[in-house]
């Protein structure tokens, strides 16, 4: 049984970019005859804007994108996340870290690694138990020991490994298949390092909350923006560490701002026009390479895009293409 979800952060209203992800995940659930859930990702409470959650839900309703169950809020799932962290600690897959950002910069500088603009430095594993642990320092955060799930030091995998779906090559590369982007890979331990599960300020990390909730809600298919694609291997590592299934992934194209960067509140993303949902959805459909849809009524337009999506991404799309080829 297909279960999909749209998981917005309530840091502001839906804009053109987030509507693309919402529409795509809704269409994919319809195309598979599945259920579509909405989950408000509000674990990073300092970034949340009061009232934005309700506003997003009203925007979705105006666009005819209604969830099949009552929406959920991650801020109410702390017990779930604590249980998952306890499980990881008990299994030796998570450990406490005493490093500040500055500590990590210094450790990496000694290794000759400098921060790229806008990128996080990979964690060098300073507080790993095999490196001596906290050595008397006070714990700040909890991290996943990625080495437990990906070994290091061997050469990059051959192409045969690269195309393997959801498999882990012995070299430490994590490879997976994205339904739209095709074969993907990342060396989590080297490119990201042991990532944070619970932050120094006590807040739950996005990666842990997403993985735990996707599993708790039985999510089988994740459809979201391409800016989140490089989170996938971290989430897969966590799924393995927790013994959870890995969903299918499809990452949608991004809406770019005039400056070529991802659309954000900083570069002019504005709330979609609730007065004209079909036009807003038509723009989103265009980004998804769907037809403009005829007419100005909401329901027929959504039905048209659903049929088109089913042909392209639906469960029978391959056999449908084969059939049409035979019919000519």
Q: Footprint of Zn ion on this chain (CB under 5 A)?
A: 97, 99, 126-127
Cite the DSSP H helix spans in the chain.
16-31, 52-62, 78-90, 101-110, 159-162, 188-191, 206-216, 232-242, 277-287, 298-313, 317-327
CA–CA gap between residue 285 and residue 283 (Å, rounded): 5
Number of H helices, E strands in the chain: 11, 10
Q: Which is nearer to Zn ion, 30 or 143 (CB)?
A: 143
Q: Considering the complex, what minimum distance in angstroms separates the CB of residue 156 from Zn ion?
A: 28
Q: How far is the CB of 166 from Zn ion (least distance, A)?
A: 30
Least distance in Å: CB of 139 to Zn ion? Answer: 9
Q: How far is the CB of 149 from Zn ion (least distance, A)?
A: 19
Of 57 and 127, CB closest to Zn ion: 127
CA pair distance 257, 47, nearest whole angstrom: 22
DSSP 260: S
CA angle (10 as vertex; 57, 291 as ends), nearest 5: 55
CB of 242 to Zn ion, least distance (A): 22
Residue closer to Zn ion, measured from CB, 106 or 216: 106
Beta-bridged to residue 97, according to DSSP, are 141
Cβ-based nearer residue to Zn ion, 39 or 140: 140
CB of 100 to Zn ion, least distance (A): 9
Contact 88, 57 (CB under 8 A): no
The distance of closest approach from Cβ of residue 196 to Zn ion in the complex, given in angstroms and rounded to an integer, is: 10
Contacts 24+ apart (CB under 8 A), 315-319: 315/31, 315/32
Considering the complex, state which of residue 152 and residue 273 has its C-beta at the smaller distance from Zn ion: 152
Q: Which residue has the tokens 């459909």?
A: 285
Beta bridge partners of 96: 142
How far is 301 from 116, CA to CA, in rounded Å?
44
Q: Which CB sits closer to Zn ion, 117 or 135?
A: 135
Is 34 or 96 the residue whose CB approaches Zn ion more closely?
Answer: 96
């Amino acid at each position: 049984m297909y279960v999909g979800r749209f998981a917005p952060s309530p840091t502001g209203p839906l804009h053109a970019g987030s509507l693309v992800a919402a529409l795509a995940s809704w269409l994919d659930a319809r195309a598979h005859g599945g259920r579509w859930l909405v989950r408000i990702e509000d674990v990073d409470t300092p970034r949340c804007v009061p009232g934005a959650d309700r506003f997003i839900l009203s925007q979705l309703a105006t666009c005819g994108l209604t969830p099949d169950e009552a929406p959920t809020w991650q801020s109410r799932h702390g017990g779930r996340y604590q249980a998952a962290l306890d499980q990881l600690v008990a299994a030796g897959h998570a450990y406490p870290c005493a490093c500040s950002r500055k500590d990590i910069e210094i450790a990496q500088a000694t290794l000759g690694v400098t921060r790229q603009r806008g990128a996080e430095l990979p964690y060098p594993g300073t507080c790993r138990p095999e490196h001596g642990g906290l050595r008397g320092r006070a714990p700040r955060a909890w991290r996943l020991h990625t080495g437990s799930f990906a070994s290091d030091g061997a050469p990059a995998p051959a192409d045969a490994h690269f195309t393997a779906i959801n498999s882990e090559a012995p070299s430490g590369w994590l490879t997976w298949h994205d339904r739209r982007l095709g074969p993907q890979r990342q060396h989590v331990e080297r490119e990201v390092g042991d990532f944070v599960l619970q932050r120094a300020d006590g807040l739950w990390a996005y990666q842990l909350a997403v993985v735990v909730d996707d599993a708790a809600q039985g999510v089988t298919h994740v459809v979201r923006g391409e800016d989140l694609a490089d989170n996938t291997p971290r989430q897969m590592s966590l799924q393995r560490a927790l013994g959870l299934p890995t969903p299918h992934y499809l990452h949608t194209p991004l809406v770019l701002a005039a400056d070529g960067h991802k659309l954000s509140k900083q570069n002019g993303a504005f709330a979609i026009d609730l007065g004209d949902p079909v036009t807003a959805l038509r723009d989103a459909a265009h980004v998804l390479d769907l037809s403009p849809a005829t007419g100005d009524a909401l329901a027929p337009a959504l039905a048209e895009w659903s049929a088109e999506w089913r042909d392209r991404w639906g469960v029978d799309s391959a056999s449908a293409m084969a059939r049409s080829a035979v019919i000519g």
